[in-house]
């Protein structure tokens, strides 16, 4: 994404950080901010919907409901009022995944608040990625880290779930812990990787590699069938 939507000539009314503007229909929220002269630094990262920097809160005119979105992924609509939540404060556990001995129990050492979920489902409703966050928190509590991994693979760590949690936990951090513990402690080490590491260690490919490195540039191109 860069400057502006190029298809549209109609303008819509929006409010950005409490100030009213007219911006081109078809703009994303971030493009609307650029259009109105905002220099956006906090709140921008990848502009491609994966870095989680642009968590945003908005309402539509005439609707009491508070909604959330990623600003680089969401088109403005007439009557939209929005503000970016540049960074939501969180408490992050300090742990070394390699040193975990009983990850399922240690979850409650690092994130004791995880067990206090009151099932309100607000986290799931707010997630811009459509993750069933509430379910993931419960699966983590019950030690089903594999399910957490599958449920939360698309998490962009934007922290919107934290902003709504009445138990004040950070579900995205809990999910990260569970995914890592699953990968490092539950899944067996991949055997194709193990085999190849052993072969490299034993020098299986050294002779052929050294041969390639001994060639002149022209010989190497010929050897590797460089076509140009």
Partner 1 sequence: MSDLVESFYSRVPVLDETPPPALSPEDRQRLLKSYYPDYRPEGKATLRVGPNAGTVVPEEIATLLESRSRLQGTRIIPDHPDREVDVLIIGGGGAGITAALYAAEQGVSVLLATKLRVGDSNTVMAEGGIQSALGEGDSPVEHFRDTFRGGHGENDPTLLSVLVSEGPRMVEWLVSRGILFDRDPQGNLSLRKGGGTSRPRLISAKDYTGLELIRVLKEDVVNSPVDILEFSPAVELLQGPGGACAGAVLWDLDSRKNIFVKARTVILATGGTGRLHLGGFATSNHFGATGDGLCMAYRMGAKLVHIDSFQYHPTGVIFPSEMAGMLITEAVRGAGARMYNVLGRRFVNELETRDVVASAIIRECSEGRGVPTPSGAFGVYLDLASIDRDAGEGTVTKRFPNIVKLMTRHQVDPTKVPILVYPTLHYQNGGIRTDENAHTSIRNLLVAGEASGGLHGTNRLMGNSLLELFVFGRRAGLEGSKEARERAPFSWKEVSLAHVENFEQALAREFEGAERPIAPSLFPDYRRKDS
Positions in 147-206 near partner 1 (CB under 8 A): 149, 153-157, 176, 179-185, 187-193, 196-197, 199-200, 204-205
89 binds partner 1 (CB under 8 A): no
Q: What span, in angstroms and rounded, lies between the C-alpha atoms of 33 and 116?
A: 38
Among 49, 67, 143, 163, binds partner 1 (CB under 8 A): 49
x/- contact string, 51-80, with partner 1 (CB under 8 A)? x-x-------------------xxx-----
Nearer to partner 1, 86 or 113 (CB): 86
In this chain, which of 12, 14, 35, 141 binds partner 1, going by CB under 8 A?
A: 35
Q: What is the dihedral of CA 121, 127, 131, 132, to 10 degrees?
A: 0
Kindly identify the residues of this chain, within the stretch 105-124, that bind partner 1 according to CB under 8 A.
none
Task: CB nearer to partner 1: give 122 or 131.
Answer: 131
Cα-Cα-Cα-Cα dihedral of 160, 165, 170, 171, to 10°?
A: -80
Q: Smallest distance from the beta carbon of 122 to partner 1, in angstroms?
A: 21
* Alpha-carbon span 133 to 12, nearest angstrom: 33
By the rule CB under 8 A, 18 interacts with partner 1: no
Answer yes or no whether residue 3 interacts with partner 1 by CB under 8 A.
Answer: yes
């Amino acid at each position: 994404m860069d400057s502006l939507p190029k298809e549209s000539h109609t303008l819509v009314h929006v409010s950005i950080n409490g100030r009213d503007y007219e911006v081109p229909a078809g703009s994303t929220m971030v493009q609307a901010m650029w259009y109105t002269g905002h220099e956006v630094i906090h709140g921008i990262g990848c502009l491609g919907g994966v870095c989680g920097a642009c968590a945003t809160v908005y309402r539509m005119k005439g609707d009491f409901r508070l909604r959330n979105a990623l600003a680089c992924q969401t088109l403005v609509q007439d009557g939209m009022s929005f503000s970016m939540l540049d960074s939501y404060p969180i408490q992050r556990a300090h742990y070394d995944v390699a040193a975990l001995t009983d990850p399922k129990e240690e979850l409650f050492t690092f994130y004791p608040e995880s067990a206090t979920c009151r099932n309100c489902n607000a986290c799931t409703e707010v997630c811009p990625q459509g993750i069933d966050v509430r379910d993931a928190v419960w699966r983590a509590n019950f030690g089903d880290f594999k399910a957490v991994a599958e449920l939360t693979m698309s998490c962009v760590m934007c922290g919107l779930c934290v902003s709504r949690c009445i138990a004040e936990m950070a579900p995205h951090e809990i999910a990260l812990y569970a995914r890592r513990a699953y990968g490092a402690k539950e899944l067996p080490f991949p055997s194709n990787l193990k085999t190849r590491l052993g072969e490299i260690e034993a020098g299986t490919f050294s002779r052929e590699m050294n041969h390639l490195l001994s060639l002149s540039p022209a010989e190497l191109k010929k050897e590797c069938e460089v076509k140009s």
